[in-house]
Amino acid sequence: MIGRLNHVAIAVPNLDAAAALYRDTLGAEVGPPQDELDHGVTVIFITLPNTKIELLYPLGDNSPIASFLEKNPAGGIHHICYEVEDILVARDKLKADGARVLGTGEPKIGAHGKPVLFLHPKDFTGTLVELEQV
């Protein structure tokens, strides 16, 4: 069901410093910041030859990233994102198999302009999983 690893998302306490670290120290291609109002985050994508890194920073007080950073002030890996061919088929199979889909269970449009869903970390070895339709 899952396809390529689309990205690994890292919550960061300072978006500019994290972007500079990837750009200046690691020599990676760093994109511009994007505000994702529906998800309460500002993101920057780092493009690697085989995948992407998504830097996440809270956008507003109710951002889920703000609470993550309260527990992890230095930041850390927040979630991993896998591609799926059909997000509704994937959702229905996962739910039938007992996995919990977060939120309403209906896909939202993610930072790449494609439908996404999140799966409960307790169902996936402690890892928050995002699915993105290709």
The pLDDT value given to residue 62: 87
Q: What is the DSSP string of 2-48?
A: EEEEEEEEEE-S-HHHHHHIIIIIS--EE---EEEGGGTEEEEEEE-
The pTM of this model reads: 0.94
If the chain, 134 residues long, is cut into consecutive pieces of 10 residues, what is the mean pLDDT of each piece?
Answer: 97 98 98 94 97 96 92 97 98 98 96 96 97 97
The pLDDT value given to residue 29: 98
Domain-wise residue ranges, the chain: 2-133
The pLDDT value given to residue 61: 82
The CATH number that domain 2-133 falls under is 3.10.180.10
Which of 54, 83, 130, 132 does the annotation list as catalytic?
Answer: 130
φ, ψ at 33 (rounded to 5°): -65, 145
Active site residue 83: no
The pLDDT value given to residue 70: 95
